[in-house]
Structure formats: structure tokens, C-alpha cells
A and B are shown apart, each in its own frame.
Chain A
């Protein structure tokens, strides 16, 4: 017997009631600001001032903004390096841990690699900025120690090194939940697959590339999406360490959006940048979902 839609809703009313507060909060803090930002992007609007309708002028201005190309170039480089780092180092580390024969050792290493996530990201940035890259930091002092004074520099203030110096923050990039995600993927591969591969003569790196990597593609896909979103949206590191400088050599669109909103008080323009970034993230995510196959897709294809 088929129930009417109304009956279904009434029957599930308790569930809707339970979900309602969460949805209301999401709407207030995520959806409404998004709609507001979208609307504000069509106004010349200063904090504390009057808003004037200017149509798509903010978008037009952003397309000719002198920071557009350098900031998107920096964002692309940083995101690309970030994606490579997110795939290579945690996956390699997870594989090394997974390959340990002792269950105790695996457990201990998992905990040890997880502990550093208790250090706040801001603190990590400040440690790198103050203790590693500063004039009397680890890198320069090491260079002085080995008689390479000429190679010392302000790593974060030199136009040629700043982007790569920022990319290296977090080295050796083997901590946090990324390892656990890959570890869980590796653990879900049935033993029979490994045994079959061994029988076929695949061992070591070859087995890792041909068996493990394809079977953790779902995890890789997730990490890639999250890294791309973080790369396009994120600017905290730049804000703390370089403020996008020197010049615009480490500027990213998110940081320029922030400066426009709160330093220059150009809230409408900042909203236009935000909408622009949203469209890019959406497009990249769709491309990723559509064309980057997960392990399930690969298995289904077989």
C-alpha cells in the first residue's frame, strides 16, 4: 500500500524535528551569508557606508585586477605542490607503517604520527617563521655553520624563495589524519589480493604501485578534493607568515579577498572575489568527481 507524501512526512516528523536545529544553524551561518555575499557582490559597499548598486562592475574590476594573475599563479603552484605532498608523503608513511610486522609497532607509530595534530596550525606557522626561516633560524644558522654564509637569506622575504619556502612548511608532511585515512584504505585491501599479487611475482614498490595505489584511489580522491578546496580557499599561512609578499609573490586570491574586505573596507568587491573562488572550487570539484576514478569505479569497470 502506497503512502501519501504527507503521511510519510508526518510519520517521519520526529526525524525532521531532530534535523531542524542543525539545518537552521547551517542556514544561518552558511547559506544566508553565501546568499548575502552573492547579493553584495553587485554593490559598491564599504563597511559603515552606504551601498550602491553597480551591477557586475566588481567582477569586471577583478578581471583586470593586477593581483589576479600573480595570485592565481601562486595558488596554482601551492595547490599543485600541496596535492603532490598530500598524496606522496602520507601514503608512503602509511604504507611503511602498514608494512611493519608487529601489531604493537604499527599501533605505536600510528599514535606517534597522530600526536603532532594537537599543535595548532597557527603555532606551526609561527614556529616555521620564527625558528626555521628567520635570519637566525635553523636554515640560515646551518648554512653559516657549514661556511655557506652567502646562501643565507630571508627565506620568506626573498621574492625568489618565498613560495617554495611556504610550500615546505610542515616538512616531512607525515603527520595527522591523512596517514590514518590512507592506512584505513590499505587495511581494507583483502589479504587474498596481496597473496595473488605475490604469486604473480609482484613485490615491493611494484606491488605498491600496481596493487595498493589503485585500491586506495577513493582515499586519494578524497584527499585531492580536500586539498584543492583548502588550496583555493586557504590563506591563513600566507597571512601569518608573509601577508602575501614580498610584492605579490606569495599572494593568493583568498588573502586578497580578506584584505579588501577588512583592510580596504571594500566589502562588495571582496564578495565578488569570494563568489569567483566559489565557482572555481565548484568547477574543480565537479571535474574531480567526474573524471578522477575511485577504486570502486575501477572495480566496476572491470
Chain B
């Protein structure tokens, strides 16, 4: 009995000591590791503590785990604080999930400046959560020297005008500043291509043949996540099928947005075209573009959800990686990479490939990367945008940041995105993406057009369809229900009047007269 007690005591003491040891806060193993973010330790000292969630550029982060931790924004903030000693700029990391965003904004506790996909913002513009930036963009940026772009109106400093202005919400207002640009591409292993005597393809037929050769040689031809296929793949194939018929179906010509987004389908246009039989089983183009994606699927890696694509690419198991320009930062700076790589853009789908394609150059699907919005927290001092001094200071920081000198410091600190300010050149490794961004913009962006409910179902069912979980027929049924539900919601929320659409539709009838394979209701 005594020995049992001793054993019990000993084991309990051991567990206790072990638990205390395990839970005891310990010093960082790397004393030199930089702090992530920038925190104000004495808020009472400052009149304005401005909280910024800069996303990718958060100081202390090391993008793609290569290079040095970012410090660019810290430098800019220190310079700004020298000009405004009563202000402190905090940088915080925030979860990239909509749940967090919605709860913080509804409580008025979001950071003053926030990186968020502006299409998410569009869903909530009627709630007063975001500040429309047009008055500031149309006024001079006081931090830009006279005579330089941006000194008359801030708008002029932005390099990629079409894409930047295209981020205007359907209510016509601009809620974000596009700090930089991103584009996607097929990163390919030049060594493998050389070994198999392959060249970047000129059209989709060549592209499929190339992938077959890679597959026959034992490589995974294409590495990509399902999310990339749902977002980028859908838009690219959709555009290849619909670009040719735009003159007969592009209903709305918005005098402001259309000069930058010529032919772009907004939600109201999609809703109207749906009533004419487009985007249903009766629309041959719609059906065909999903089939093209499915046919392409066999060249992707088996697991498109959870596999480590970058690992498969750098270990040369995969020959091509479909990813964004941020991948350059990894490939160009990784000292262990022992092959040569290049990048090319998806080739066009010609009429020989499919009778409903026209061989038009593939469009831009990228665009603004870091998109900085100003939230309702920025004017919490008065609760009124007109009278808020705090909002003026927040805007001053945004203006200060978007000057050539500061954007160069922040964006070019790593090789991920292209600076969107005139006079700031991107890294030469990113120049191929600069050329792509000069192309025309996509016909629509399905995953950003409707609400999150639509996106969620589309993502899930396309994933299932691509992985043989459901047939094309079932998938189309799901998509039809999903689209109808999204359209109902958007019509209710935005109170869309379709009468002008119908009038324009009738006017465009001659343009549609010679078009093939339109849905029966669209004649």
C-alpha cells in the first residue's frame, strides 16, 4: 500500500511538473526574430492611433518563407509620424475570413484601413461600413510634388488605370485603393521542357498535346488548387466562349465604368441574360465551358485540394504550376532551386479546338492585389465622415503611402506584385505579368459577382464535378439553382429595374441575328 501511495504521488508530481513546464511561457528561440506588426505601446501619448491591416505587406512577415522579413511599411510609417507627431500607425494581422470582417465591421471595431477584396465590399456598400474614396481620388494628393502625376488629382498617379478604376462598385463609387497588381500564369520547368523538346504552346490544342506528352513522360503536367480552377479557370474558359457574342448581349454601357471594363457583365446583366436562357442547360456555350474544364482536369494532380503544389513543383514531380505572380518571390529567391523556370499565359482556344470558341487572346483575370479600404472605424471620433478629423488623418496616411517613393519601398521589397504607381518599375522577374495586364479584362468574374452563398455552392459543386463526384447534368442543375437563388437575392437587395435592359436587348437584336448557338429564348 505504501509503495502504491509513493507511486501515485510520484506520478502525480511528475504530471504536475511536466504540465507546468509545458505551459510555462518561454523565450523566443530566435532572439533576433522581428516582431510581426507594429503596436502602439503608449496610446495616451497620441491623438490618433490609426490601425492598418495591410495584408501581404504586414511588417515582420516573410512571404513564401524566403528572403528577409518585411520592414517597408515600418519605414513609411516612421516617416509619416515625423510629419504628424500626434499620430501613430499600427500594423496588425487579421484573419482573412469574412466571418471576422463582418463581425468587426458591424461592431465598428475593424481596423481603420483594411486590405479586403473589394468585391466583398460591394456586398455591403449599403450598410455604411466603408468610406467612398472618390472625393479624395478626384482631389490632389498633397504628398506628390507639383507637376507630377497625382498632383492635380490623386487618380492620375495610378499606373494601371483600367483595372484600378474598374474596381468601382456597381453603385458607381470607389471603395478601394489598388496598391499593386497581381496576375496568374503557368510557371513551367524549363529543364523538363528542354528534355522533352517542348515549347510553350500557341493554342489550346497544342497545350493539351503538351500536357499529354508530360503525362506520358511520368510528370504531373499541371499543378493547381481547386480554388484556382474555380476562380481563374472558370473565368478564362467562360471568356473564350462568350467574347465573340458580346456585341449582341452586352446590355449595359456605363459611361464611367465601361471605358475601363468594356463588355464586362455585372450582376444585373447576368440576371437579365439568365432570363433570356443564358447560363442554363439550354445555353450551349455555358455547357461547353464546363466540359472543357472537366476535360482539362485529367492533366492536373490527383489531389487538387490538399496537396502541396509548390513542393511538387520544386521537387520536379510536376512540370507546370498555375499560380499567381507572388510565386516569383519563392522561385527567384530560393537558393535550393536547381532548375530553370519560366512563365507563360494560357493560350487561346481556337475554332479548331471548339466550334464555339473564336481564338481570341486570353484575357486578364488578375488585377488589384492589395486593395486598401477605409472602414467606419476611421470616423469614429464624430460618427460623421464630413466632420471627422480622424478620417482626414487616415486618408493622409493612405495618400502618403501611395507616392512613388513609398510604394517603391513597400511593394518592391519582395517580388510578388507589380507596383500600381507611375514611376515605380516592377522587378524584372515580374515583367511578363506586366505585359499580360495590358490585355483586355475578363468578361466577368463569377466568384466575385454574386454573394458568398453563390460562391460557396459553385466552389463545392465544381470541386465535386471535377473529381467525378457528380455528372455534368447534376452539376448544371446545381448551378442553375445556385444562380437563380443569387439573382433573387441581388434583385431584392439592389431593387434592380430590368425595363431599360429589355429595351436595350431589343435594340441589339440585329447584332444577334447572325450569331450561332444562342439559347432558344435569346433570339
A143 to chain B, nearest CB (A): 13
Q: Name the contact of A157 in the complex, choosing from B102, B105, B303 (C-beta under 8 A).
A: B303
Residues of A within 8 A of B361 (CB): none
Q: For the complex, is B64 an interface residue (Cβ under 8 Å from A)?
A: no
Q: For the complex, is B99 an interface residue (Cβ under 8 Å from A)?
A: yes
Count B interface residues, CB 8 Å. 43
A49-B127 in contact (CB<8A): yes
How many angstroms between the C-alpha atoms of A49 and B226 in the bound complex? 33
How many angstroms between the C-alpha atoms of A107 and B452 in the bound complex? 53
B19-A153 in contact (CB<8A): no
B411 to chain A, nearest CB (A): 30
A262-B302 in contact (CB<8A): no
Count A interface residues, CB 8 Å. 37
Binds B, one of A187-195, A217-225, A244-252: A244-252
Binds B, one of A1-9, A263-271, A273-281: A263-271
How many angstroms between the C-alpha atoms of A107 and B7 in the bound complex? 9
Known contacts A108-B11, A246-B469, A249-B464; A157 and B306 CB within 8 A of each other: yes
Q: B68-107 toward A: CB 8 Å interface, digit per residue (1/0)?
A: 0000000000000000000000000000001100110110
Q: For the complex, is B378 an interface residue (Cβ under 8 Å from A)?
A: no
Residues of A within 8 A of B470 (CB): 247
B98-A262 in contact (CB<8A): yes
Q: For the complex, is A176 an interface residue (Cβ under 8 Å from B)?
A: no
Residues of B within 8 A of A103 (CB): 4
Known contacts A135-B308, A245-B463; A264 and B7 CB within 8 A of each other: no
B307-A154 in contact (CB<8A): yes
How many angstroms between the C-alpha atoms of A111 and B3 in the bound complex? 17
Q: For the complex, is A295 an interface residue (Cβ under 8 Å from B)?
A: no
B307-A247 in contact (CB<8A): no
A48-B106 in contact (CB<8A): yes
Q: Which residue of A lies closest to B127 (CB)?
A: A48
How many angstroms between the C-alpha atoms of A90 and B484 in the bound complex? 49
How many angstroms between the C-alpha atoms of A279 and B306 in the bound complex? 36
Q: For the complex, is A198 an interface residue (Cβ under 8 Å from B)?
A: no
B481-A262 in contact (CB<8A): no
Q: Please, could you name 7 A-B residue pairs with CB atoms under 8 Å apart, sorted by A?
A: A107-B4, A107-B8, A136-B311, A247-B464, A262-B98, A263-B99, A263-B453
The 6 closest A-B pairs by CB, nearest first: A247-B464, A157-B305, A154-B303, A159-B469, A262-B99, A135-B307
Residues of A within 8 A of B (CB): 47-49, 66, 103-104, 107-108, 111, 115, 118, 129, 133-136, 152-154, 156-160, 244-249, 259-260, 262-266
**Additional A-B contact list (13), CB under 8 Å, known A260-B453, A264-B451, A264-B452:** A47-B102, A47-B106, A111-B15, A134-B306, A134-B307, A152-B302, A159-B467, A246-B469, A247-B460, A247-B470, A248-B460, A249-B469, A263-B456
